[in-house]
Amino acid sequence: MQKVNLGMIGGGTVGSGVYHALLRNGDLMAARLGVKIAFRKIAVKAFDEPRPYEIPRALMTTDWQEVVNDPQIHVVVELVGGTGIAKAMILAALAHGKTVVTANKALLSAHGPELFAAAAKSGANLYYEASVCGGIPIIKALREGFVANQFPAIYGIVNGTCNYILSRMKQEGADFADVLTDAQKQGYAETPPDLDIDGKDAQHKIGILASLAHGFWVDHH
């Protein structure tokens, strides 16, 4: 069976969760895909940072360039977030011809055309299904399943944190600050939660969906 080596940048809450999910479901995925997927290296901020799921020390490094420069890594998963260093990480991985998987909707919103141009130049693939409603999913459906459709409008809940907060406020008459604190404790809201509660996360996602629906890059700002 063919083996695909993964390198991941980001080993905190989301990254360790991805590692745990692959560990738990790896055999099932291999049986369905005919490909064995395995982590080779994971770049983290610190070896002892708190994370919901343990990552073996032997897999971790604090130098993200070890991930993108490793010739034995075929796919790089970016889970750093933000529009700063994450951009450099993805561009570096694409320049090496590696497939990149990202959930970074803020980065795609701000620098999508540049990232996709870099992928095209190097002949690499840039996948971003998890950036918008990854649990549905919607990106592949718009890009492939509904390629012949026209979209006068797209309706849906694109920010689970806001949906959770507003639902509880309406149903329970709860105070916003209290529900937000609870959402953070349960892992729904980030710390700080600005992107969610200020509407920026939803804006980024809507811009990506609009771009896919209309066939040209929409100004997300």
**DSSP, residue by residue, 16-61:** HHHHHHHHHHHHHHHHHHSEEEEEEEEE-S-TT---SS---GGGEE
Q: List strand residue ranges (DSSP E) for 79-213, in order.
A: 99-102, 126-127
Tell me if residue 6 falls in helix, strand or coil: strand
Strands (E), the chain: 2-9, 35-43, 60-61, 75-78, 99-102, 126-127
Q: Is 98 a catalytic residue?
A: no
Provide the pLDDT confidence category of residue 186 given band limits of 50, 70 and 90. confident
Q: Where are the domains of the chain?
A: 2-134, 160-198
- Quote the mean pLDDT of the chain: 93
The confidence score (pLDDT) of residue 214 equals: 86
3-state secondary structure of 210: helix
pLDDT surpassing 90 at residue 120: yes
Q: Would you give the DSSP letter of residue 130?
A: G
Note the pLDDT of residue 3.
94
Residue pair 81/45 in contact (Cβ under 8 Å)? The answer is no
Phi, psi dihedrals of residue 2, rounded to the nearest 5°:
-65, 145
Question: Using omega within 30 degrees of 0 as the cis cutoff, is the peptide bond preceding 192 cis?
Answer: yes
Q: ∠ CA(163), CA(16), CA(10), 5° rounding?
A: 90
Name the phi and psi angles at 39, rounded to 5: -75, 135
**Spatial CB neighbours of 29, under 8 Å, sequence gap ≥ 6:** 22, 35, 37
Looking at residue 136, its pLDDT comes to 84
Q: Are 114 and 108 in contact (CB under 8 A)?
A: no
pLDDT tens sequence across 145-164: 998 999 998 888 899 899 99
Asked: is 2-134 a CATH 3.40.50.1580 domain? The reply is: no
pTM here?
A: 0.87
CA distance 70 to 66: 6
Q: How far apart are CA 167 and CA 65, in angstroms?
A: 42
Mean pLDDT confidence for 135-143: 89
